[in-house]
Amino acid sequence: MVEFDDSARTSAAAGPLKRRAIGAVVWSGVNVALPSLVSFAVFMVSSRWLGPSDFGAVAFCLSLCTIASSLCLSGVGEYIVQAKKLDQADLYSQFAICLGAALLIYAGMSTIAVFGWVDDFTLGHSEILFLLGIKIPLDALNIVPAALVERGLRFSVVAARATFASLFAGAVTLGLLFAGYGLWALATSPVAAQAAITLVNFMAAGWRPMRPPVSAVRGVPRYALFATGTRILNTVSTQIDQTVTGLVLGPAALGVLNFAKRIYALCADTVGGALGASVHPIFSTIQDDRARVTRGYLMASYAAAAVSFPLFMGLAAVSGDLVPFLFGEHWAIATLPVQILCVQGLITSVGLLQAGLIRGLGKADWWFYYQMSGTLTSIPLVLILAPYGVNVLLTGLVLRSFAFWFIPVLMSVRLLQISPMTYLQQFWRPLLAALVMVAGVKLVETQVEDWARVYRLGALIASGVLVYAAALALVEAARVRPAMRQLLSQLKGSS
């Protein structure tokens, strides 16, 4: 059997952790920042063009397709990234299984669209489901080449594909919007983005599916089954609120929920994406050296908290002005849902790191059982709370997330062999500085109440940035001083 060329991964494992990790985070940051900027611009334009019902109709169909796509053995990609050795039979076998499952599922989604079984939840446009369903086989085609790119720690390629996809999808969406296609522009965007990502990954991976002898065809590995189960549970957990809201409250309420979640996702991806996207492949590569893993993980946890805490707490503080200013007065109703989700954001980026650590060290089954417990509690919670409205539903889900957060904390400290206090102390300084920032913003707000909205927002954001920077520098003084003294001594020595 032809062996798979894994030299990129081997050389990456031999390199210094700090250089590889910094490079990964930088490229992952580019991967997140540029697409996020494009997505934000398209989102802002489309939000001013379309209303909650339009967003809700597309969100309902996309939610169904996202859940369906997770059934296509999506965890195979994690297995390819994590496995110590691979051959071509492994790759082809997983590719064929994923694609076959995707085609069967897409046939089922198309049947639902043809018979108009979701007309009541899509403003009479069941065809949206047929269009968005194309994303299911595209997702399956992408699993193997995307995993090979990540396995080689080729984060520059990841950045390039995300940027290209976002630019392509943005151009398609805006073009259709200006041509008057309305919600069809929203429905086309995810399909266009996934098509572009799949094309770039195939080109970058340099891999083509070549059928091996029948005797060499493999089944789905145990790790991949657990990883797939985890993804299914995670997808159901994150999408069930939208699906049930659409069924119970209709497309308008779902549009408000989807709008708030998209703002939350833009922030969460910007903060956690740069670190979260790199943690799993890097820790998979150095999984046998727990000391290096521990140092890197604690450093990443602090960095995630130092950025995510002020971002989400600051967004909650100014969203009353920010949401209607950027997206239009008709979205002011989404202000409270955005603020509720900002509370969730405090643990989101940290949770991405926990997931990457646990899966990267080969404990996909641990993460599966954690996700299963979360999903089993989320589903009944959504069914009970959805009839009471979006705000009540989101509050219940956020409280549930915080109640279960101690589980991945215990998993992480067990794998790293450190105490919970050693782990949690990474967060208290950024949290304290962010609380001081919010107090400062609210104080400034009392002084600028009569200003025009644009100037008031500018004053609040500027004061928040300055107060947080000063507060963090103050609480981190004990760490900063030795580093500054060392730097100054080195500069004097070199002169």
The 10 Å Cβ neighbour count of residue 171 is 13
Question: What gap in Å lies between CA 147 and CA 158, rounded to an integer?
Answer: 11
| Residue 452 pLDDT | 93
Examine the domain organization and report whether 357 and 264 are in the same domain: yes
For residues 360 and 102, which has the higher predicted lDDT (pLDDT)? 102
DSSP 221: -
pLDDT at 488 over 50: yes
Given 426, 444, 476, which residue is the final one in a domain? 426
Position 136 scores a pLDDT of 96
Owning domain of residue 32:
7-426
Check whether 286 has a pLDDT greater than 80.
Answer: no
Question: Mind listing the pLDDT tens digit for each residue in 208-248?
Answer: 887 765 555 566 778 888 888 888 888 888 899 999 999 99
Whether 441 shows a pLDDT value over 90: the answer reads yes
d(CA 354, CA 352): 5
User: Does a structural domain hold residue 2?
Assistant: no
- Over residues 416-425, the mean pLDDT reads 89
User: Phi and psi dihedrals of 219, rounded to 5?
Assistant: -90, -170
Q: Are residues 466 and 418 located together in one domain of the fold?
A: no
* Alpha-carbon distances, residue 366 vs 105, 356, 392, 416 (angstroms): 28, 12, 31, 15
Q: Which run of H or of E encompasses 312?
A: helix 290-327
Burial bucket for residue 432 (CB in 10 Å: 0-12, 13-18, 19+): middle
Mean model confidence pLDDT for the chain: 84
- Work out the pLDDT band at 484, boundaries 50, 70, 90: low
> In which band, very low, low, confident or very high, does the pLDDT at 22 lie, cut at 50, 70 and 90?
low
Across 154-177, average pLDDT: 83
What pLDDT band is residue 355 in, cutting at 50, 70 and 90?
A: confident
Q: To 5 degrees, how large is the angle CA 412–CA 413–CA 414?
A: 90
Both 384 and 472 in a single domain?
no
Domain co-membership, 419 together with 455: no
Distance CA 5, CA 22 (A): 25
> What does the alpha-carbon distance between residue 388 and residue 382 come to, in Å, rounded to a whole number?
10
In a domain, 209, yes or no: yes
Residues 6+ apart with CB under 8 A from 48: 327, 328
Please tell me the predicted confidence (pLDDT) of residue 1. 45
Domain end residue (candidates: 376, 401, 426) = 426
Stretch 343-348: mean pLDDT, rounded?
Answer: 91
- For residue 1, being part of any structural domain is answered with no
Residue with the bigger pLDDT between 472 and 293: it is 472
Are the beta carbons of 95 and 208 closer than 8 angstroms? Answer: no
What pLDDT score was predicted for residue 210? Answer: 75
SS3 call for 225:
helix
User: Are 288 and 219 part of one and the same domain?
Assistant: yes
Please give the C-alpha separations between residue 20 and each of 160, 306, 410, in angstroms, as whole numbers.
Answer: 18, 21, 27
In a domain, 159, yes or no: yes
Residue 166 sits in the same domain as residue 277 = yes
- The stretch 137-163 carries a mean pLDDT of 82
pLDDT of residue 402: 92
Looking at the structure, tell me whether residues 380 and 450 fall in a common domain: no
Residue 329 has pLDDT above 60, yes or no: yes
> Residue for token digits 């098509």?
195
Please check whether residue 240 lies inside any domain of the structure.
yes
pLDDT tens digits for range 178-212:
998 988 999 999 999 999 999 988 988 888 887 76
Which pair of structure tokens corresponds to residue 111? 């049947």
Q: Are residues 164 and 302 in the same domain?
A: yes
Least confident of 54-58, 249-253, 288-292, 425-429: 288-292
Task: Count CB atoms within 10 A of the CB of residue 423.
Answer: 20
Residues 422, 495, single domain; the answer is no
Specify if 169 maps to a domain. yes
Q: Which of the listed residues 392, 426, 460 is the one where a domain comes to its end?
A: 426
Give yes or no: residues 439 and 372 share one domain: no
Instruction: Name which of 7-21, 162-176, 179-193 the model is least confident about.
Output: 7-21
Backbone angles phi, psi at 87, to 5 degrees: -135, 175
Greatest mean pLDDT range, 97-101, 118-122, 407-411, 462-466: 462-466
Residue 412: closest CA among 423, 428, 427: 423
Q: Is 416 part of a structural domain of the chain?
A: yes
At residue 183, what are phi and psi to the nearest 5 degrees? -65, -20
Q: Do 491 and 369 fall within a single domain?
A: no
Q: What tokens does 260 get?
A: 């708030």
Closest CA to 142 of 210, 82, 193: 193
Report how many domains make up the chain: 2
pLDDT of amino acid 244: 93
Structure confidence by residue, pLDDT tens digits, 69-123: 999 888 888 888 878 777 788 888 889 889 999 999 999 999 998 888 888 888 7
Instruction: State the pLDDT at residue 133.
Output: 95
Q: Give tens-digit pLDDT for 376-393.
A: 888 899 999 999 999 999
Among 88-97, 281-290, 373-382, 456-465, which stretch is predicted with the lowest mean pLDDT? 281-290
477 and 393: one domain? Answer: no
Separation between Cα atoms, residue 92 and residue 90, nearest integer Å? 6
Angle (deg, nearest 10), helices 335-360 and 251-285? 30
Angle among Cα 118, 47, 45 to the nearest 5 degrees reads 130
